[in-house]
């Protein structure tokens, strides 16, 4: 499903409000209190082509030019304050909320039915098949599938995510033969570079380093993103500051997350950077983080995310 460009342009120009009916995602919240920080919009239609080209890099730091300095500072401010709402944030239209929530609940039922480990590798086609076969899941409606399709193919740059799209097809599949399940984790790694790097990390960092997330199919990333979108009250921009949209996650082609044994949910917070395991990680010359503190991708700092690809 494609957005009507005239409506999209009007919204980017700040003309439309929450009450405007749109065919896509771009709805701004113009009801924010004046106390909310009002930063310059990175999605203004009048931004130069150079600005967008600079912000959408191959996940590497870039040289800051004078005409883009304000936009880049604004971008960094948003990633530091990733769980705040900003005036320019893009929301899921109100008329899509019910379909969004029913799709998320159905996907969660698929995960519960087939098991969390298996769900990491499940493809879109197989998810639809499971929903068709199991009455307790229920078939996906046309509206739910249309929303999933729209979310996957929509240009994430529009709501502030500037990373590369590494998986182009919604129906892409993970070849299970190319992965290996890591004992005691419930997660998989791709054989080859990812597995070798993880084994080397275990050896060099110590036994308390654990795998907290490995291979993620498009469906797994979709489920995580929708859950984050739900907790963000439909704020697509806020969700994407914490999690790569489906199709944009390097977990689908090699990256993985690590943590400290027994550290629980804090492994996915900045508190992980205070652990001995993290300190040992950054001392290793062969370790690179995907989302660094000063990244221009639009994602918060993730000291736990190991770059493989």
Read off the pLDDT of each residue in 42-65 and give the average, rounded to a whole number.
39
Mean pLDDT of 206-223: 98
In 3D, which of 256, 182, 186 has the Cα closest to residue 215?
256
Q: What percentage of the chain exceeds 70 in pLDDT? A: 78
Question: For the segment 253-265, what is each residue's pLDDT rounded down to a tens digit?
Answer: 999 999 999 999 9
Q: Does some domain include residue 2?
A: no
Residue 228 in domain = yes
**How many domains in the chain?**
1
pLDDT of residue 63: 52
The pTM score is 0.81
- What was the pLDDT predicted at 70? 86
Specify the pairing of strand 187-190 against strand 179-182.
antiparallel
Residue range 201-223: mean pLDDT, rounded:
97
Of residues 9 and 119, more confidence is placed in 119
Q: Which residue has the higher pLDDT, 191 or 54?
A: 191
- Domain membership flag for residue 237: yes
Higher-confidence residue of 152 and 56: namely: 152
Res. 306: pLDDT tops 50: yes
pLDDT in the model for residue 115: 97
Where is 142: in which H helix or E strand?
helix 142-153
Q: What is the mean pLDDT of residues 114-126?
A: 98
124-133 and 97-114 helices, crossing angle to 10°: 80
Residue 175, number of CB atoms within 10 A of its CB: 8
In-domain check, residue 66? no
Q: What pLDDT score was predicted for residue 35?
A: 33
Mean pLDDT of 225-245: 98
Residue 23, domain member (yes or no) = no
Specify the pLDDT at position 239.
98
In a domain, 210, yes or no: yes
CATH code of the domain covering residue 209: 3.30.1380.10
Of the chain, the percentage scoring pLDDT greater than 90 comes to: 75
Question: Looking at the domain assignment, is residue 22 inside a domain?
Answer: no
The DSSP H or E segment spanning 203 is: helix 193-205
Answer whether residue 77 shows pLDDT above 80: yes
* Helix, strand or coil, per DSSP, at residue 180: strand
| Strand segments (E) across 86-175 | 90-91
Token pair for 130: 């499971």
Q: What is the pLDDT of residue 71?
A: 85
* Domain encompassing residue 264: 96-309
Please say if the pLDDT value at position 75 is more than 70. yes
pLDDT computed for residue 69 by the predictor:
85
| pLDDT exceeds 90 at position 199 | yes
Residue 75 lies in a domain: no
Residue 118 is predicted with a pLDDT of 97
Do residues 18 and 27 touch, judged by C-beta distance below 8 A?
yes
Q: What is the pLDDT of residues 78-96, one digit of tens each?
A: 999 999 999 999 999 999 9
Scanning the structure block, which residue is given the tokens 């599938």? 145
Q: Please determine, for residue 226, whether its predicted confidence score (pLDDT) is greater than 50.
A: yes
């Amino acid at each position: 499903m494609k957005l009507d460009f005239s409506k999209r342009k009007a919204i980017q120009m700040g003309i439309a409000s929450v009450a405007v009916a749109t065919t896509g995602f771009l709805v701004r919240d113009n009801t924010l209190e004046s106390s909310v920080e009002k930063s310059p919009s990175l999605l203004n239609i009048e931004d130069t082509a150079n600005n967008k080209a600079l912000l959408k890099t191959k996940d590497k730091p870039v040289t800051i030019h004078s005409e883009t300095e304000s936009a880049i500072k604004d971008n960094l401010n948003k990633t530091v304050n990733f769980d705040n709402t900003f005036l320019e944030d893009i929301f899921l239209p109100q008329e899509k909320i019910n379909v969004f929530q029913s799709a998320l609940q159905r996907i969660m039922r698929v995960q519960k039915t087939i098991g969390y480990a298996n769900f990491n590798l499940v493809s879109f086609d197989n998810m639809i098949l499971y929903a068709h076969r199991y009455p307790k899941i229920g078939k996906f409606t046309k509206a739910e599938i249309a929303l999933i399709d729209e979310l996957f193919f929509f240009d994430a740059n529009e709501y502030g995510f500037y990373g590369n799209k590494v998986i182009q097809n919604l129906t892409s599949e993970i070849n299970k033969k190319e992965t290996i399940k890591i004992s005691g984790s419930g997660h998989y790694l791709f054989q080859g570079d990812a597995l070798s790097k993880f084994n080397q990390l275990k050896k060099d960092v110590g036994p308390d380093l654990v795998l907290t997330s490995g291979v993620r199919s498009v469906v797994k990333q979709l489920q995580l993103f929708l859950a984050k979108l739900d907790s963000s009250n439909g704020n697509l921009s806020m969700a994407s500051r914490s999690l790569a949209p489906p199709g944009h996650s390097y977990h689908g082609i090699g990256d993985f997350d690590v943590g400290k044994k027994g550290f629980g949910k804090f492994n996915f917070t900045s508190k992980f950077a205070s652990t001995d395991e993290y300190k040992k990680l950054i001392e290793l010359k062969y370790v690179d983080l995907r989302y660094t503190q000063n990244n221009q991708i639009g994602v918060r700092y993730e000291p736990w995310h190991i770059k493989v690809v």
